[in-house]
A and B are shown apart, each in its own frame.
Chain A
Amino acid sequence: EAGVTQFPSHSVIEKGQTVTLRCDPISGHDNLYWYRRVMGKEIKFLLHFVKESKQDESGMPNNRFLAERTGGTYSTLKVQPAELEDSGVYFCASSQQQGANEQFFGPGTRLTVL
């Protein structure tokens, strides 16, 4: 069974540009999560989808970040315009059930904003 996949694996952009990250969850997983790890800090929650609906977006840092999951399959996370402090590793995770069950993580997208 394929795991969670993310694209791209790395992205280097300049401040002010736009970047879109993609996550494909494990097939059949209704729950999809985005997390971010900024250098030297812990992994932090950004938001949670149940199918195509945003269940919890309390961790989104500001309105420069837009997450979508049209059709309830893959998800995109767009940063526009990117700022220096957005640099970090963006992880996507998915789970079959809600609640505090195991979440399966993707390999992450390493974003560098110059």
Chain B
Amino acid sequence: RKEVEQDPGPFNVPEGATVAFNCTYSNSASQSFFWYRQDCRKEPKLLMSVYSSGNEDGRFTAQLNRASQYISLLIRDSKLSDSATYLCVVALIWSNQFYFGTGTSLTVIP
């Protein structure tokens, strides 16, 4: 069983749309949660950390539901520059290693 599950998409949305990505994790000992963004053939870059209370950064909102072991990312008012693969990342309490989902592909269409 995978540690982190994501819908791979692809998601194709028009500019200005709102799009949501979901992710589930299997280990209840997971402590830290992140969304990374990866452009084609580039390195993954941190988009935002995910906190228990939920957090927002501009057009991006991340939510965590520990009871359901579920993480989400909401992107409002999509821009062409948001086109990328979004990686759900989880880290366990006792470990430094990151567990990645396979990523969700987003294309924002003009």
Interface residues of A (CB under 8 A from B): 3-4, 31, 33, 35, 41-45, 48, 55-56, 58-59, 91, 93, 95, 98-108
Contact = CB atoms under 8 A, between A and B. Distances in A.
Interface residues of B, number: 23
Interface of B: 2, 4, 31-32, 34, 42-46, 49, 87, 91-92, 95-103
Q: Is the interface of B mostly helix, strand, loop or mixed?
A: strand
Contacts of B97: 33, 45, 48, 56, 58-59
Contacts, number: 57
Given A42-B2, A91-B44, A103 B98 contact: yes
Most B CB contacts (10 A, CB to CB) among A4, A43, A99 go to A43
A33 B4 CA distance: 19
Contacts of A35: 98, 100
